[in-house]
Amino acid sequence: MTLYIDAGTTYSKIIADGEKLDFLPVKNENGFLYYIIPSSEVRFLDLKFKKSCGHMFSDENSENEIIALAQGCKKDIEPDSVVLDLGSRDAKWIRFKNGKFRDMDWNTSCASSTGATVEMLLKFYDLKTEDLKFNPEKYNVTCGIFGFEKIMDDISKGVNASDAVSKFVHGIAFNAWNFAKRPEKIYLSGGFCNNECFVKSLENYCDVVKLGRFKLCEGLIDG
Amino acid sequence: MNTQKNVKIGFWGCPERTLVNELKSKYPNADWLDLDLDLNAPDKHILPESYCKIIKNIINNSLGMKDKLDIIVAPIGKDKCDSGWFAAQLLKDMGFEVIECINPNIDKKRPLVISTSNLPLYDKFNIIMNNIIDEKALNAAQCKPKFGFWGVPPNDMEILKLFPDETHVYGWTRCVERGTPADVAEEMYVEPDVPTVFYAQSFCAKCQLAKYLADKYNGLYIDIDDYATNSVRAKIEAFLRLS
């Protein structure tokens, strides 16, 4: 069995070529089985990976995440494209022109406006992702910690927690669009593809094509 | 002051050659010390926590060897930065003998030898900076650039080892090789078709220039406070592999 892993901060995305793991796959495509497993559990599975990327797993076969993203998405995008991967703890984007790499950036220092923060907010206010709805208003979340303050202020004034967190998510979408240099269209990769509030918020600024959560992992196979 | 035999002169930036030569003539056996470098001096907490690491180095290095440092040669003009000017005022106030200077030269440009050579990037920076005080005739084989590195010598010089030898030097360090550290036109010069990493020390005013030029020329902007994290290294590596 050949295994590939994108070991994110919260979840690991695993693709198995052939045999099944003791988990329910989320997808079965072209002979490959796709799994999403909490990263905290992966270390106990005693699995050997042919290639890996991500913050939570590192060995001699580890690949750079930007390289994995570039390799994984190239078959799904137009020659002139911007791909944004927004995960638990960081955001990264690549711009292609005529099918070739042109520009990139990777926010590597501050994770206060990414997926892990949203997950914490959902837990803190006992909300589900589905409770969040696009809100045309947004908080300025250039600093996520200041964004927290806005949420708490609004809730203390009677705003629903789901509305307040939705405004926070809108702020993250606005930041992500600016971070990617305000493109007209974004190919979105990562866990935020499953957050409709985020996707709708991003669509407020540009067209969005969802690539799902496995592009980095697929890039390990293609690379 | 110590006897002439063991005079210790600290400096930062790129003082004008005439002044350096005057001091070398007056104190031929002096030890010269580049205060810009991280010499592991303890942080005296004089400056704000979030501040340019190079300026922190200057202050902490000076205080760390207060009794041994006889003279500080302090560029305070556009050839260094406003923070350098303030650092000079602080050090004077703390009792150091500070010679303030401005290197206005933008006309007498020396030819480029090292910035455009095929030497390892790490060596290029060391040779250029060592030549500020101990001027030597330089010679090195030239190469066409595959990549560019724009900026000042980083506090974390190890990041320079990520680049291939065919990386040309641009920005302030290139100006230093020219002998024209205040020449902003030279500082803003890059070759548009050469993929370039635009580096500035976090909290330095040059971040403004680095970000602007990176956007203009589709380069990679990075600012690093203190030492590079693994993520910053990965970002540079990705840029070099994908470009």
DSSP string, A8-32: -SSEEEEEEESSPPSS--SEEETTE
Q: Are residues A188 and A107 in the same domain?
A: yes
Q: What spatial distance separates the first Cα and last Cα of chain B, rounded to whole Å? A: 54
Of A35-49, A144-158, B175-189, B214-228, give the range with the top mean pLDDT: B175-189
Q: Which of A62, A79, A103 is the last residue of a domain?
A: A62
Looking at the fold, whether A18 and A39 belong to one and the same domain comes out as yes
A128-174 per-position pLDDT tens digit: 999 999 999 998 876 666 778 889 899 999 999 999 999 999 999 99
Is the Cβ–Cβ distance between B224 and B159 less than 8 Å? yes
Highest mean pLDDT among A30-34, A80-84, A115-119, A176-180: A80-84
pLDDT of the residue at A90? 83
pLDDT-derived band at B1 (thresholds 50, 70, 90) equals low
Neighboring chain A residues of B232 at a CB cutoff of 8 Å? 108
What is the mean predicted confidence (pLDDT) over B139-160? 96
CB–CB contact A109 B231 (8 Å): yes
Domain span at A49: 1-62
Mean of pLDDT values over A98-122: 79
pLDDT in tens, B4-33: 568 999 999 999 999 999 999 999 999 999
pLDDT digits (tens, 9 = 90+) for A66-77: 999 999 999 999
Same domain, yes or no: A79 and A40: no
Average pLDDT, chain B: 94
CB A201 within 8 A of CB A173: yes
For residues A56 and A94, membership in a common domain is answered with no
Q: What is the DSSP string of B61-129?
A: HHHHTTTT--EEEEE-STTS-HHHHHHHHHHHHTT--EEEE-----SSPPPPSSTTBSS-HHHHHHHHH
For the ranges A28-32, A151-155, B125-129, the maximum mean pLDDT occurs at: B125-129
A102 or A157, which is more confident: A157
Question: Strands B8-11 and B31-34: what pairing?
Answer: parallel
Please tell me the distance from the alpha carbon of residue B102 to that of residue B15, in angstroms, as a whole number: 7
Half-sphere exposure of residue B147: CA atoms within 13 angstroms, side-chain side: 22
Contacts of residue A22, defined as CB under 8 A and 6 or more positions apart, other chains included, come to none
Q: Which residues of A touch B238 (CB under 8 A)?
A: 64-67, 70, 104, 106
Q: Supply B177's token pair.
A: 């090789």
- Greater model confidence, B90 or A143: B90
pLDDT-derived band at B141, boundaries 50, 70, 90: very high
Q: With cut-offs at 50, 70 and 90, classify the pLDDT of residue A23.
A: confident
Q: Which of B215, B235, B243 sits opposite A108 (nearest CB)?
A: B235
Domain spanning B4-101 has what CATH number?
A: 3.40.50.11890
In this prediction, residue A53 carries a pLDDT of 92
Shortest distance between the Cα of B9 and any Cα of chain A, in A, equals 37
Contacts of A64 in chain B (CB under 8 A): 234, 237-238, 241
Mean pLDDT of the residues in chain A: 89
pLDDT of residue B132: 95
Using the predicted structure, report yes or no on whether residue B136 has a pLDDT greater than 60: yes
Mutate to test the interface with B, among A109, A110, A114 (most CBs of B within 10 A): A109
Instruction: Enumerate the domain spans of chain B.
Output: 4-101, 121-242
Please give the tally of structural domains in chain A: 2
Quick one: pLDDT at residue B2?
54
pLDDT of B38 strictly over 60: yes
pLDDT in tens, B183-209: 999 999 999 999 999 999 999 999 999
Are A139 and A125 contained in the same domain? Answer: yes
Q: Are residues A19 and A79 both part of a single domain? A: no
- pLDDT(A89) > 80: no
Q: What is the pLDDT of residue A18?
A: 77
Distance CA B147, CA B149 (A): 7
Nearest to B238 among A104, A109, A181 (CB): A104
Same domain, A160 and A221: yes
Can you tell me the distance from the alpha carbon of B122 to that of B156, in angstroms, rounded to the nearest whole number? 11
Nearest to B239 by CA among B173, B132, B159: B159
Burial class (CB within 10 angstroms; exposed 0-12, middle 13-18, buried 19+) of B42: exposed
Is the separation of the CB atoms in A168 and A151 below 8 Å? yes
Question: A143: domain CATH number?
Answer: 3.30.420.40
Q: Is the pLDDT of residue B108 over 90?
A: no
Residue with the larger pLDDT of the pair A45 and A125: A125
Q: What is the model's pLDDT at position A110?
A: 56
C-alpha separations of A105 from A86, A161, B114 in Å: 12, 32, 29
